[in-house]
Amino acid sequence: MNDSASPSEPGAPTGAPGQPGGSDGSHPAQNSASEKPRKAGAKGFALPRRRLEFDDVTVVEDSMLKRAIGGTVVGNLMEWYDVGVYGYLAVVIGKMFLPDASPTAQNLFSLGVFATTFIARPLGGIVLGQLGDRLGRQKILAFTLLMMATATFLIGVLPDATVIGWVAPIALIVLKLVQGFSTGGEYAGATTFITEYAPDKRRGFFASLLDMGSYFGFAIGAAFVSVLQLTLSEDFIEGFGWRIPFLVALPLGAIALWFRLKIEDSPTFQAAQDEQHEAEDAAAHDAEAPKGLGSLLRTYWRELLVAFILVAAANTLGYALTSYMPTYLTSTLGYDAVHGNLLTLPVLVVMSACIPLVGMLSDRIGRKKVLFIASISGMVLSIPAFLLMMHGAVWSTLMGLALLAVPVAFFVANLASSLPALFPTASRYGGMGISYNLAVALFAGTAPFYMEALVAITGSPLAPGVWVVLTSAAGLIATVFLRESAGRPLPGAMPSVMTDEEAHELVAGQDENPDLDSSDLFGDEAKVEGPLHPDDHADEQRRRREEGGAAGDKPMAPA
């Protein structure tokens, strides 16, 4: 970019809004990945107010965006197919690996093993998140996919308890822990990747495609298992048939990996990585400079807490609808395994198709409003949903599942765009990895186990609905403290648009744009010490009024 203003010339122009580049009229760069904003020098050195220039704005290349979306969505679909298949075969797996136990104990064992997957997720989120912030998103996302596909395939070839005895359930737990470690880096990395590539005004839509892929993965898993149950005998399913969906994961994983290896790290990350290398060189000589996981927890604990609660609320509903429903419909409500899976399938397909529409809605009305709808609908609709399913008829069960799908769609369509916006680029993967996976481990991924245990303890099929209401209420409280991010650049990133025309309009109208915050865009460069340049006079008055300061109501003398 062109640094036409220097510290010795606080009033120098930085380029006309209507023409590309700086004052020299040079042709602008396509994005800011290779050219970094000017940095303040030694401690105490003050720069004039930093103005947004055309070269600062990232113009998203359409072909790169399509490759990024394809690579992450296909890979995420594969990851969650692997997770979903286990949920739809939970009853059979309980019989295979704990053959001498009661049906209740078998179900609790199977769901408990499913829950152990989420014990490893926080560790995966921490380790892979830190690596993703340092080595790049694409490398870690390829690694997580390879790990998940391999572990899923090995479950398919694992001998059951009738062959190797007690070793079988232990080996199953180990492989599920490997799956959990990989998924710990998958969702956080995929959401970070998509949100950094997406243009600001359409980030909600593009990020929601990721969760559409996740739930289509669940739906494909349900359809595959249902087809096997319809075409194969129960004896064959319990003998070898249950292994087939796990074995298929290896070739599917290879295809998804091919897609993922074709994508590149986002320009936002590449620019931030260059700046981080400079910061690390400076921090190496500063004993008080923040470093590592401890710094992340101290600096962003509020953001981590908000993300944690929202993820717990959203995924309690999500896993209730996907992983728990097959067990609930068969073991609690008495449906056979085929109907238990088939009833969830159309609901998952329709909900998946609606998720991008909700993402588009969040781009128009804001993330917070949509998350308020999600939380309130979760509180209001959950009890009626379970009451309808308890009625026992197919139509009422479908209606109950559809009611549960409403808050799920409003929640998950927004998390992928809302949560990464809580953290700056250099800490985004790590912050997402910790908050998302810790919440899933403690509340969401274990929800099927909690719900089945509540039914066993209380004897009431309505107990899971009460649990969902409580977590949705917590989500409502967290949404109050969420920062609105719709239409705004990600923290630590420059604005991102689809065309050069949008970039010119953004630069020309930056003083009247409420979605641009110079403190987010430029950090220390946005601070003003001493006289203001005349161009910044009105902007400073507006800033002071918004902050509620008394000085905002008083005229300021121009510099």
Look up residue 216 and give its two tokens.
């289509």
pLDDT score, position 452? 84
The predicted structure's pLDDT at residue 469 = 94
> CA 6 to CA 46: how far, in whole Å?
11
SS3 of the chain: helix, strand, coil, percent, to 5: 75, 0, 25
Distance CA 94, CA 23 (A): 70
Q: What is the DSSP string of 133-175?
A: HHH-HHHHHHHHHHHHHHHHHHHHH---HHHHTTHHHHHHHHH
Q: Which residues of 493-505 are buried (b: 16+ CB within 10 A; e: fewer)?
A: bbbbbbeeebbbe
Report the 10 Å Cβ neighbour count for 543: 16
Rounded to whole angstroms, the Cα distance separating 68 from 268 reads 13
Torsion angle of the four alpha carbons 493, 497, 502, 507, in this order, in degrees rounded to the nearest 10: 0
Q: Are 463 and 454 in contact (CB under 8 A)?
A: yes
**How much is the CA Rg of the chain, to the nearest whole Å?**
26
Give backbone dihedrals phi and psi of 400, rounded to 5 degrees, phi first.
-65, -45
Tell me, rounded to whole angstroms, the distance of Cα 509 from its chain centroid: 31
Query: pLDDT digits over 498-545, tens only?
Result: 888 888 888 888 777 777 766 656 554 444 444 444 444 444 445 544
Residue 397: left if φ>0, alpha if ψ -120 to 50, beta else—which one?
A: alpha
Match 């909700």 to its residue by tokens.
358
pLDDT at 64: 77
Amino acid at 208: S
pLDDT at position 43 is 38
pLDDT (0 to 100) of residue 322: 82
Instruction: Tell me which residues of the chain have a pLDDT lower than 70.
Output: 1-50, 129-130, 132-138, 263-292, 445, 517-559
Burial zone of 414 (CB within 10 Å; 0-12 exposed, 13-18 middle, 19+ buried): buried
Please, are residues 381 and 403 in contact by the beta-carbon 8 Å criterion?
yes
The closest of 418, 416, 407 to 354, measured between CA atoms, is: 407
| CA nearest to 415, candidates 485, 350, 463, 492 | 485
Taking the CA atoms of 219, 220, 224 and 227 in sequence, report the sign of the dihedral they define.
positive
| Coil, helix or strand at residue 533 | coil
CB count in 10 Å sphere of residue 288: 6
Per-residue DSSP letter, 48: P
Do residues 43 and 22 touch, judged by C-beta distance below 8 A? no
At 28-41, the pLDDT tens digits run: 444 443 343 333 33
Single-letter residue type at 559: A
Listed by start position, the domains of the chain span 59-273+299-480, 517-554
- What stretch of H or E contains 59? strand 58-59
Cβ atoms of 451 and 322 closer than 8 Å: no
Whats the size of the chain, residue-wise? 559
Q: How far is CA 536 from the centre of its chain?
A: 37
Structure tokens that stand for 58 in this block: 């990232």
The Cβ of residue 1 has, within 10 Å, a number of other Cβ atoms equal to 22
Which residue, chain included where needed, has tokens 């962003």? 300
- Provide the greatest CA pair distance for the chain: 86
Helix, strand or coil, per DSSP, at residue 340: helix
Residue 135 amino acid letter = L
Q: Are 496 and 57 in contact (CB under 8 A)?
A: yes
- Residue 264 has a pLDDT of 64
Cα separation of 92 and 436, whole Å? 30
Burial 63-102 (b: 16+ CB within 10 A, else e): eebebbbbbbbbbbbbbbbbbbbbbbbbbbbbbbbbeeee
Pair 390, 423: CB distance under 8 Å:
no
pLDDT at 268 (0 to 100): 56
Cβ atoms of residues 353 and 216 within 8 Å: no
pLDDT at 229: 83
211 and 405 Cβ atoms separated by less than 8 Å: no
């990350």: which residue's tokens? 269
Question: Which CATH architecture best describes the domain 59-273+299-480?
Answer: Up-down Bundle (1.20)
Distance CA 82, CA 76 (A): 10
Contact 125/188 with Cβ under 8 angstroms? yes
Give the residue from 76, 71, 73, 96 showing the smallest Cα distance to 86.
96
